[in-house]
């Protein structure tokens, strides 16, 4: 009998909602929603405007993903759902030159200590104008990749990405992050990993779009 084994991951995306300089973190939700399975047993669960749950298959491993969206780290700290956080993403708009000051090492270290967070962290610059096809304001300055990399080093986060092309760059981001956890799952629980893979193969037969 096929066992429906899946892997669970909790994500948190932090970023400003400031009008005109929104960090654009919602694009991560859009991507997951397009990859999600919705059937009699699993459904897209949009619990609130800041709390989502999705079920998908990555490299033949079924994964249940919980997502929290927050304006800043202080707001996230007040959320009771962060106890088992696996991935912390700090997002910013590459045209908001003040955004680099939104995140500081002292506050991030405080967050790590209070939550005992030992998961994967990433700083991501998002070119929202290019992604949404907006005309670029010539009066705006754009932060460089060097700005992002230096900030990532200062914050001591593991990854640094720039999102310019919605599908290609998001695919690269999720591939990198999910690969880490799939490898960890395989190494720590090989028997459960094989059972999950069998379930994932069955799901991919049913949902052809998961091959894309």
pLDDT for position 141 = 78
List all residues 6 or more positions away from 6 whose beta carbon is below 8 Å from its beta carbon: 55, 61, 62, 63, 64, 196, 199
Does a structural domain hold residue 4?
Answer: no
Asked if residue 32 is part of any domain, the answer here is yes
Instruction: Show the domain range for 19.
Output: 9-211
Look up the pTM and report it.
0.90
Give the chain's domain count: 1
Is residue 38 situated within a structural domain?
Answer: yes
pLDDT, one tens digit per residue, over 134-180 is 766 666 778 889 999 999 999 999 999 999 988 899 999 999 999 99
Is residue 182 in some structural domain? yes
Cα–Cα distance between 4 and 204 in angstroms, integer? 13
CATH number of domain containing 127: 3.40.50.300
Least confident of 57-61, 89-93, 100-104, 196-200: 100-104
Per-residue pLDDT of 17-39, as tens digits, reads 764 556 678 889 888 888 888 75
Residue 2 lies in a domain: no
Q: Is residue 190 part of a domain?
A: yes
Evaluate whether residue 3 is within a structural domain: no
Torsions phi, psi of 207, nearest 5?
-120, 90
Residue 46 included in any domain = yes
Task: Pick 99 or 7 by higher pLDDT.
Answer: 7
């Amino acid at each position: 009998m096929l066992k429906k084994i899946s892997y669970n991951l909790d994500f948190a995306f932090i970023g400003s909602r400031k009008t005109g300089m929104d960090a654009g973190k919602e694009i991560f939700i859009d991507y997951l929603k397009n990859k999600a399975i919705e059937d009699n047993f699993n459904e897209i669960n949009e619990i609130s405007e800041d709390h989502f749950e999705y079920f998908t298959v990555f490299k033949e491993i079924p994964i249940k993903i919980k997502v929290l969206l927050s304006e800043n780290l202080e707001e996230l700290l007040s959320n009771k759902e962060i106890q088992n956080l696996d991935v912390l993403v700090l997002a910013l708009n590459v045209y908001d030159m003040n955004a680099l000051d939104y995140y500081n090492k002292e506050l991030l270290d405080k967050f790590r200590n209070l939550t005992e967070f030992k998961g994967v962290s990433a700083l991501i610059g998002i070119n929202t104008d290019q992604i949404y096809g907006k005309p670029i304001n010539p009066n705006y300055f754009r932060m460089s990749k060097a700005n992002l990399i230096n900030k990532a080093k200062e914050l001591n986060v593991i990854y640094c990405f720039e999102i310019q092309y919605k599908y290609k760059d998001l695919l690269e981001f999720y591939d990198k992050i999910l690969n880490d956890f799939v490898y960890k799952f395989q190494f720590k629980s090989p028997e459960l990993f094989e059972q999950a893979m069998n379930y994932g193969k069955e799901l991919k037969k049913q949902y052809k779009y998961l091959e894309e």
